[in-house]
Structure 1
């Protein structure tokens, strides 16, 4: 194993600079292997020490370069290989893991060194639990969220083109999808409602509060998949959407883990519930114990909205 190097695997759909931050924590030289357009390779050149580029993909999908990426990484045997949790990133990391006979550790939130071991803290079971895993005796293959940013160096690494033999596959058609629902992930304010609501028509109360706050309406799973009072794309939880708003208001939501996992990145959580023993009060920043049918209209009116 080459303990002096960590590699990042970059596909067209990955924000490469976020991967560099993880690789840098290991105190090694960072090498990027890029399966994508030259523009991607040039963009990452400012944040790594070396760039290996597999050439213009043309109509070949990222997955077609998986054997080439796996071969290069296996030959180098770096301390760690870091890729993004995107479709392209997962495809490339799977091939790398197979070539190195190493498991791919997903949901990585923290990476550190303990002697010669790479120690990884990762989120499992939809965020309900965290596991701390030590990888010894071989490269650690890590799938991480690539959203972080890294300072760009004034001196960019040279882009080295490497001969590649992609698999005989090509993209024959691209069909854009139409998103019918709302992107809760982009909302600065989200008001979520749960089983404390008594009737479908009462969703209007929640909409009024959300409107007064300039936010979006969301719900717990029972309201979307049980009684169908709200569309499924508004359901927040382990198997639903995950949000990170500036403000999340939980109305009539008990605060079970399955739901709260979806809002754990919220900056501020406010809870409204008539049950003072509801678990949500142990997980919020501000709590109001009271009947939502009295509290919500009062809040809406105080904000200048219409209940």
Structure 2
């Protein structure tokens, strides 16, 4: 194959699938572990040939290391750069894409080769179509199937020189009442609720479940029902609960990517053709104003 891939990792989420996708088109797979030294030790067991650690101080956000990482990877040479959909990894991937002159794909499901070109299957049109994007160099946010880590010995870890960074985190403030990242149960709200007056239905269900509340982007930006820390999707937050119930949500790729790692996902929608049903283990077709109270009573 002759292709070379670098993976940007600011966390280990979905790294097994990313490494597996890279292996299908590359002879060489390397991981740039950007963050703590513990992160580098963790990702070394995922089956890459090489792991390079870009270690930031505890008070330095990882995003300012983007130019440093990009310069290193460009000097080393690569055909493909990959990351998951976390905000920090996407930020660094963008710097790498610019440094290597790569085409950028935001929702890659799979990779293949066509002669000297890399081909990325990119999910488009509200998850209804796949477009094949072909270019000699490709930078992809990979959102395709996840795989278990590849068995094998851990890669040796190299430490890259990191310049002095003036950016500092001066404090952290946790948004009141949110815990989407660690919640075992989450209820998601979509535009199917129609009006703010119907939100108490969802509050009652969440209380009965002991669940965190989440919402789609339009419920925040357009309707102002919830603050941005409750938005579940690739543009904001991700969650991997044991149970996710999506109520009145059509199923845009931005939102579905936010709960793709949920162990069990359930959708409630009155449209039997809603895209959300393609992303859930269970689908309930019905009027949410009938279904949600019944679920609430069942959980009680």
Scaled by the length of structure 1, the TM-score of the pair is 0.68
What displacement does 1:179 show?
A: 1.3
What displacement does 1:118 show?
A: 1.7
Determine if contact 1:90/1:143 at 8 Å carries over to the other structure: yes
| Correspondence for 1:262 | 255
Whole-angstrom distance in 1 between the partners of 2:35 and 2:121: 29
What displacement does 1:176 show?
A: 0.8
Matched, 1:101 2:101: yes
| Correspondence for 1:207 | 203
What displacement does 1:120 show?
A: 0.9
Matched, 1:248 2:245: yes
Q: How many residues are paired up?
A: 285
What displacement does 1:133 show?
A: 0.9
Whole-angstrom distance in 2 between the partners of 1:236 and 1:205: 19
Q: How does 1:215-226 map to 2 (within 5 A)?
A: 215-217=211-213
Q: 1:174 to 1:23 in 2, by over 3 A?
A: farther
Superposition CA RMSD, Å: 4.3
What displacement does 1:150 show?
A: 1.2
Whole-angstrom distance in 1 between the partners of 2:287 and 2:61: 55
Determine if contact 2:78/2:100 at 8 Å carries over to the other structure: no
| Correspondence for 2:158 | 160
SS in 1 for 2:120: strand
Query: Where does structure 2 lack aligned partners over 5 or more consecutive residues?
Result: none
Whole-angstrom distance in 1 between the partners of 2:113 and 2:51: 24
Over residues 148-205 of structure 1, what are the superposed CA-to-partner deviations in whole Å (9 max), with x where a residue is unaligned? 651452x33333345x362x532444311221243456353526465567773x5444
Q: 1:190 to 1:132 in 2, by over 3 A?
A: same
Determine if contact 2:7/2:82 at 8 Å carries over to the other structure: yes
Q: 1:177 to 1:117 in 2, by over 3 A?
A: same
| Correspondence for 2:187 | 190
Determine if contact 2:214/2:230 at 8 Å carries over to the other structure: yes
Determine if contact 2:215/2:230 at 8 Å carries over to the other structure: yes
| Correspondence for 1:131 | 131
| Correspondence for 2:77 | 77
Q: 1:279 to 1:179 in 2, by over 3 A?
A: same
Matched, 1:179 2:207: no
What displacement does 1:52 show?
A: 3.6
SS in 2 for 1:20: helix
Whole-angstrom distance in 2 between the partners of 1:95 and 1:221: 26
SS in 2 for 1:3: coil
Q: How does 1:220-299 map to 2 (within 5 A)?
A: 234=230, 246-248=243-245, 250=247, 253=248, 256=250, 262-263=255-256, 265=260, 267-271=264-268, 273=270, 278=271, 284=277, 285-287=282-284, 289=286, 292=289, 296-299=292-295
| Correspondence for 2:149 | 150
| Correspondence for 1:3 | 2
Whole-angstrom distance in 1 between the partners of 2:92 and 2:276: 38
Q: 1:280 to 1:235 in 2, by over 3 A?
A: farther
SS in 1 for 2:79: strand
